[in-house]
C-alpha cells in the first residue's frame, strides 16, 4: 500500500514536470550575464535574447551579475532551479576559471546543462588615445621599459580580458599592474578617461571606439583580419607569431533542466542565430553566429571539458591563480 503511494506520487511528479516542460515558457526567462551592463558579453546576450523572446513568446530579461571574473553569475545559474527560467550566457572564461580558481563553488561540467554555442568573438588590444606607443612593436618596448607605471584593465580573474592580458604578459615576460572591474564596460570608461592605460577586449565592445578614433588599437586576436576593422592587423601580423584566441560564448541552464525545455531554448537560440537582423548586428561588431553544426547542446557538452583540459596546463605554466 505504502509502496503504491510512493509509485503514484513519483508518477504524479514526473507527469507534472513533463506537463510544465510541454507548456514552457509561461513567464519571462532571466538570462544571467556575469558581467556589467553595456559590455561585450552583455551586448551579445541582449542581441540574442531579443530575438529569442520572439521565438519563445516570452520576454528574455537580461540580469547583469558581475564580479569575480564572471564566477558570481555562473554560480547563480548553477544553483538555480532547473525549470528553464534562469539561463546563463558566458564565454571561454568558464573554462579558464576551472583552473584559475582553487575554490570554485560550482562545477561547470556537473552543475550546468548545455544549450548551445553562440558566437566566437575576436579580441582587440586597445589603449587610451594618449598612450605613447603607436604600434605593437612600440607597445612591447614601452611596456617593458615602463612596467612600474603602466596599468592594464580587465574584468577580473577568469574574464576573457584577463586571459588575453595573461597571454600577452607571459609572451613578453613582463607583468604590469592589473586593475579589475565588474566588466569591461566600466573598464572602457576608465580607459577613455585615462585612469588606466590599456586592455584587451572583445570586438563587441571595442569596434565603435576603434572606428570613432577614440582609442588606439594594436591588433586583433583572430587568425585573419576582421571585415569591420580592415585596417587593424592581426596579432600575428603585428609581430606576435601564433597569438590567436577566439572568445567563444555558450548558453547553459542549470543541471537537470528537462530535455524538452533545453530543446525549446536551443531552437530559439538557432532562430536568433539564423536571423538576418542578428547577422548584420554581429558583423558590425566584428563577429558572426557560431556555425550551425556547432550549435547543438552535445557539441558544447563535449567542447567545455576539452577547453578546460586545453587551458589547464597554459594557466599552470603562467602560475596565475585566485581563491
Ligand atoms: N568581455 C569581458 C571580459 O571577459 C567582460 C564583459 O563582458 O564585460 O573580459
CATH assignment of the domain containing 194 = 3.40.190.10
Examine the domain organization and report whether 203 and 251 are in the same domain: no
Question: What is the predicted pLDDT for the residue at 322?
Answer: 80
Which domain, by its residues, includes 54? 2-121+247-318
- Higher per-residue pLDDT: 50 or 17: 50
Question: What is the predicted pLDDT for the residue at 40?
Answer: 97
Question: What is the predicted pLDDT for the residue at 6?
Answer: 55
Examine the domain organization and report whether 32 and 63 are in the same domain: yes
Question: What is the predicted pLDDT for the residue at 17?
Answer: 63
Examine the domain organization and report whether 115 and 256 are in the same domain: yes
pLDDT digits (tens, 9 = 90+) for 217-261: 999 999 999 999 999 999 999 988 889 999 999 999 999 999 999
Position in ligand 1 atom list of the atom nearest CA 156:
9
Is it the case that residue 193 has pLDDT exceeding 60?
yes
In a domain, 323, yes or no: no
CA 80 to centroid of ligand 1, rounded, Å: 23
CA 1 to centroid of ligand 1, rounded, Å: 57
| CB hemisphere CA count around 210 (13 angstroms) | 28
pLDDT band (50, 70, 90) for residue 297 = very high
Examine the domain organization and report whether 95 and 130 are in the same domain: no
Examine the domain organization and report whether 145 and 100 are in the same domain: no
Closest CA to 55 of 83, 32, 93, 24: 24
CA–CA distance, 77 with 97 (Å, rounded to integer)? 16
What is the average per-residue pLDDT within 304-317? 94
Backbone angles phi, psi at 122, to 5 degrees: -75, 160
In a domain, 233, yes or no: no
Give, for ligand 1, the residue of 91, 124, 178 to mutate: max count of ligand atoms closer than 8 Å to Cβ. Answer: 91
CA–CA distance, 319 with 129 (Å, rounded to integer)? 32
Examine the domain organization and report whether 14 and 105 are in the same domain: yes
In a domain, 117, yes or no: yes
Taking CA atoms only, the protein residue closest to ligand 1 atom 9 is: 161
Question: What is the predicted pLDDT for the residue at 15?
Answer: 55
Examine the domain organization and report whether 157 and 183 are in the same domain: yes
CA 163 to chain CA mean position, Å: 11
CATH number where 301 lies: 3.40.190.150
Is it the case that residue 280 has pLDDT exceeding 70?
yes
Examine the domain organization and report whether 126 and 115 are in the same domain: no
Beta bridge partners of 174: none
The three-point CA angle 299-14-31 to 5° equals 45
Give, for ligand 1, the residue of 33, 93, 178, 206 to mutate: max count of ligand atoms closer than 8 Å to Cβ. Answer: 93
The number of domains in the chain is 2
In a domain, 228, yes or no: no
Q: Quote the pTM value.
A: 0.92
What is the average per-residue pLDDT within 268-295? 97
Cell numbers for 118, please give them.
553562440
Taking CA atoms only, the protein residue closest to ligand 1 atom 7 is: 41
| Cis ω before 118 (30° cut-off from 0) | no
Position in ligand 1 atom list of the atom nearest CA 183:
8
In a domain, 306, yes or no: yes
Position in ligand 1 atom list of the atom nearest CA 33:
7
Amino acid at each position: 500500500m505504502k509502496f503504491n503511494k510512493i509509485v503514484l506520487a513519483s508518477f504524479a511528479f514526473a507527469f507534472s514536470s513533463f506537463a510544465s516542460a510541454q507548456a514552457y515558457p509561461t513567464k519571462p526567462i532571466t538570462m544571467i550575464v556575469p558581467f556589467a551592463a553595456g559590455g561585450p558579453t552583455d551586448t551579445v546576450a541582449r542581441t540574442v535574447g531579443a530575438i529569442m523572446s520572439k521565438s519563445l513568446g516570452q520576454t528574455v530579461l537580461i540580469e547583469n551579475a558581475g564580479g569575480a571574473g564572471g564566477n558570481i553569475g555562473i554560480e547563480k545559474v548553477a544553483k538555480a532551479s532547473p525549470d528553464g527560467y534562469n539561463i546563463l550566457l558566458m564565454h571561454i572564461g568558464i573554462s579558464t576559471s576551472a583552473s584559475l580558481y582553487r575554490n570554485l563553488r560550482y562545477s561547470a561540467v556537473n552543475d550546468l546543462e548545455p544549450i548551445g554555442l553562440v558566437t566566437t568573438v575576436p579580441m582587440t588590444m586597445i589603449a587610451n588615445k594618449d598612450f605613447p606607443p603607436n604600434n605593437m612593436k612600440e607597445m612591447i618596448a614601452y611596456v617593458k621599459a615602463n612596467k612600474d607605471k603602466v596599468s592594464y584593465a580587465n574584468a577580473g580573474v577568469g574574464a576573457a580580458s584577463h586571459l588575453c592580458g595573461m597571454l600577452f604578459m607571459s609572451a613578453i615576460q613582463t607583468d604590469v599592474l592589473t586593475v579589475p572591474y565588474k566588466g569591461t564596460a566600466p573598464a572602457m570608461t576608465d580607459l577613455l578617461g585615462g585612469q588606466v592605460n590599456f586592455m584587451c577586449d572583445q570586438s563587441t565592445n571595442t569596434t565603435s571606439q576603434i572606428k570613432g578614433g577614440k582609442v588606439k588599437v594594436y591588433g586583433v586576436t583572430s587568425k585573419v583580419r576582421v571585415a569591420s576593422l580592415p585596417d587593424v592587423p592581426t596579432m600575428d601580423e603585428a609581430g606576435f607569431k601564433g597569438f590567436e584566441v577566439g572568445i567563444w560564448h555558450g548558453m547553459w541552464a542549470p543541471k537537470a533542466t528537462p530535455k524538452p525545455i533545453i530543446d525549446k531554448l536551443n531552437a530559439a537560440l538557432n532562430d536568433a542565430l539564423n536571423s538576418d537582423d542578428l547577422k548584420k548586428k554581429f558583423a558590425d561588431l566584428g563577429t558572426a553566429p557560431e556555425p550551425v553544426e556547432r550549435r547543438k547542446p552535445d557539441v558544447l557538452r563535449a567542447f567545455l571539458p576539452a577547453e578546460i583540459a586545453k587551458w589547464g596546463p597554459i594557466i599552470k605554466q603562467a602560475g596565475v591563480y585566485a581563491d
